Chain A
């Protein structure tokens, strides 16, 4: 069954229906379509065989542009599967949570719903593509709906934020295009015909210098996307100006394209260059962890703060990927999913708060726990998940990343661990300043308890965060075989412990 094509087409059809349904019904239509899409992706996940020997499953292949050797080829490995599941789960949640968030924008309601669904289709496409050309097409095309979502429905500085978002990503993408062309030329020289098939390209024997250049080209695009310091500056602006729903999808899903690309393309297509670049990437990751965390502490705008926490979290993810141990990579892959849900929880609850109070600034809140205890509880839970408290899903992944890194790079792991302390600081400071204390008059007047729609939207996210904290094995069972295969391609084995345990 063509699961992936169905998942790509379904939201597109939904977008068309929502558009023609008009402003009155668009949200209902969109929500139902997003739920159906989620159902399909769950059904696909159930059909996935984690222990199969094939790297990719549910593969489809149709020739597309023969002149370039590009094809419509899709398929998923364990990482892509969990990311698709996460993306399709977040779309209905953000739609429900942000039911009214598009009303003040300069675009129509139906436009917002249609753009969100187009975005969903491309999110599935970008994770499912196994043809590098197709991946690039989704990678760039996905910018357009996001650009309109920020620019038409965002906050006061939305023009600036949307243009910055687009230009950063476009530049990164175009540099990747140059590398992509370079790779294609290599294939053409070695095979006699150009191809973009990921599996075929991974068999090429690249000259070490060429491989490094191509690696750099892809890495820049992924680093902008992820984002790593120093190419992260678009994220706080874009996340602060986007509506909470769009910000969730941008930070929670779109940014994962970068780290996903590192797994799927950097490691597999350029294994030697990936090892060569490891020291630099690890330093960049540690810088990101601390820079993101320190800047988060200094923020006065809740949404910017959340954006900076993500910069810090992405530092952990790339650290895990480039530590090259199976534990750290499993942790990184799991972190990608967990970060999606915990960021969603933070952004959406923050969205509830901001829409009530009419301000994004922490100083305008205070004492919310007196007037809206449920809302406060949800905010606390989301925050604790972000700071990786044991019992929350993100703890498992952060722990795996650090433990895995420690076996190969002990000092780097020790340094990175201090990032957790800073995480506690930025979350708890924000909580303290906005939720505790005596509520001011405006807060008392405006901040009301969560309504039923908001509870229904946020409850599943919080439930997933807690559930995955206790049974991460559900996802790890799917992720680990893929990590093993990736490690095999890079030809790296886990470091041997200095002392072997004995059973005697």
Chain B
């Protein structure tokens, strides 16, 4: 009897090559933990940097390998799908990951070391903290945390099962909660941010889980394919399904930072160490948006007519909140947080479009937005005064006179956020807006262009501050960074410009990749 039961148990089919990018990053994370345990403290930092970059490089190689071999398929009993979209998003996340890791490695900007507290456990302002700082201790636990978060992000947009998706969500979130509280400067703000992020994040995870349970109750499966099949057959119990779908979506929208689920983002953006903010703002949004689209297109695609109006409303609310509240911000990191809320609204246009063009447009948008965001935060991390980063806008006045180059690069990023032609931001906006218009969402497009104009105001205001105002004593100065940050700023600025002028290759890539398996 027992034997018979065992023999009918189908072993899950794992194609390790398709899973390789995720597995490699997790393996790297484990190695990184071991490094923490066994390598001498003085050498840990350099070893961790090598391990991290090596891991990302190998994982990127695996992604490229999957891409060139055009590997596709649903693996691990329907838990994980490798398709065009997943491969492309993994590639983008790894590129953003490299840029983020470069910012993590920077240690010339802050005279006391890198951007992270030497000992997160030491009380802020205590003598312990001072001792660690004076001894030149560096926090190296951020590296394994970073790699775990990255692994979760790679898995997130490829998950085709609500449970796998939940696991990925938690794996990517927990390290981020921790790292958000590790800023070297203004630690209370940072710890407050971490706590808020954690509590609200846990709350949204609970929503997701509850929604998953309801959807399971309706469909009898947590698998996306199973949910879609159930949707096409069943007609009763729609209420339970809709509530469940809504809750699942709320959990994801929280991560994407769509209003009204954005409440965490200004505080976290402001409080978290800037390299983390840049990485998180870009990569989390990419991964979570990928996951959101997969759920909406694949699992809930059959109920499109039910959720599309909600997406319309959320897109409008997000664009309105992001742009209008963004205008009132006086802190550059908070302003960028509201800008990201507005951009989440623009991206929702692609979901509202629910078409192949919408999908490929949003892939392009995510790639360019991610790159520009990391670049912008890299510049933010360089603008400092005696107390640390000068994120208050008043300190940016006259920066263009003091450091025309960095201010110019930042202006380029702002123009890209504003969607001015000849920057990548314009092409992304155009791709998403045109897809939405082609699907008949014309009113949404009109609202989006008006929101873009309002958003233009607060981006342009920073340019006015930097270039059209005389420098005073309160003006912050731009620190000369090491090669790490220089590479990030150079690469992101170049990509922002090049993808604005010659976007065709990436657009092609996105168009070819815009498939979902089910």
List residues of A whose CB falls within 8 A of some B CB: 64-68, 106-107, 136-138, 140-141, 143-144, 147-148, 151-152, 158-159, 162-163, 166-167, 170-171, 174-175, 177-178, 181-182, 184-185, 188, 194
Contacts and interface: CB of A to CB of B under 8 A. Distances in A.
Nearest to A171: B453
A184 B503 CA distance: 18
B313 interface: no
A167 B457 contact: yes
A147 B433 CA distance: 26
Contacts of A138: 421
B415 interface: yes
Contact of A151 (B430, B467, B511): B467
Contacts, number: 99
Dominant SS among interface residues on chain A? helix
Contact of B420 (A141, A163, A178, A182): A141
B449 A177 contact: yes
25 contacts: A65-B427, A65-B503, A66-B507, A106-B401, A137-B422, A141-B420, A144-B415, A151-B467, A152-B467, A158-B468, A162-B468, A166-B456, A167-B456, A170-B460, A171-B453, A175-B446, A177-B433, A177-B449, A178-B437, A181-B430, A184-B434, A184-B437, A185-B434, A188-B438, A194-B434
Given A159-B469, A181-B430, A67 B421 contact: no
A168 to B, nearest CB: 9
A137 B445 CA distance: 18
A188 B439 CA distance: 12
B54 to A, nearest CB: 35
B437 A185 contact: yes
Contacts of B507: 65-67
Contacts of B438: 185, 188
Given A65-B507, A162-B468, A182 B453 contact: no
B457 to A, nearest CB: 6
Interface string B434-465: 10011000100110011011001100110110
B470 interface: yes
Nearest to A150: B468
Contacts of A151: 463-464, 467-468
Nearest to A182: B437
Contacts of A162: 464, 468
A178 B446 contact: yes
Contacts of B470: 106
A300 B452 CA distance: 37
A181 B445 CA distance: 9
Given A140-B420, A167-B457, A181 B434 contact: yes
B415 to A, nearest CB: 7
> Taking each of A68, A137, A148, A181, which has the highest tally of chain B beta carbons within 10 Å of its own beta carbon?
A181
B335 to A, nearest CB: 16
Nearest to B448: A178
Nearest to B445: A178
B430 A68 contact: yes
A163 B415 CA distance: 14
Interface centre among B445, B446, B468, B507 (most CB of A within 10 A): B468
A174 B434 contact: no
Contacts of B401: 106
Contacts of A159: 464, 468-469
B306 interface: no
B453 to A, nearest CB: 4
Given A175-B450, A178-B449, 12 more contacts: A65-B504, A67-B507, A67-B511, A137-B426, A138-B421, A140-B420, A148-B467, A159-B468, A163-B464, A167-B460, A185-B437, A194-B434
A64 B504 CA distance: 8
B508 interface: yes
A170 B464 contact: no
Nearest to B443: A178
A106 B453 contact: no
Contacts of A178: 433, 437, 442, 445-446, 449
A170 B456 contact: yes
A181 B438 CA distance: 8
A175 B449 CA distance: 6
B434 A167 contact: no
Contacts of A66: 504, 507-508
B455 to A, nearest CB: 10
Contacts of B442: 178, 182
Nearest to B398: A106
A159 B462 CA distance: 11
Contacts of B504: 64-67
Contacts of A140: 420-421, 426
Contacts of A141: 420-422
Interface string B470-512: 1000000000000000000000000000000001100110010
A147 B431 CA distance: 26
A68 B467 CA distance: 35
Contacts of B450: 171, 174-175
A67 to B, nearest CB: 4
A227 to B, nearest CB: 16
B452 to A, nearest CB: 5
The listed residue with most B CB atoms (<10 A of its CB), out of A67, A152, A181, is A67
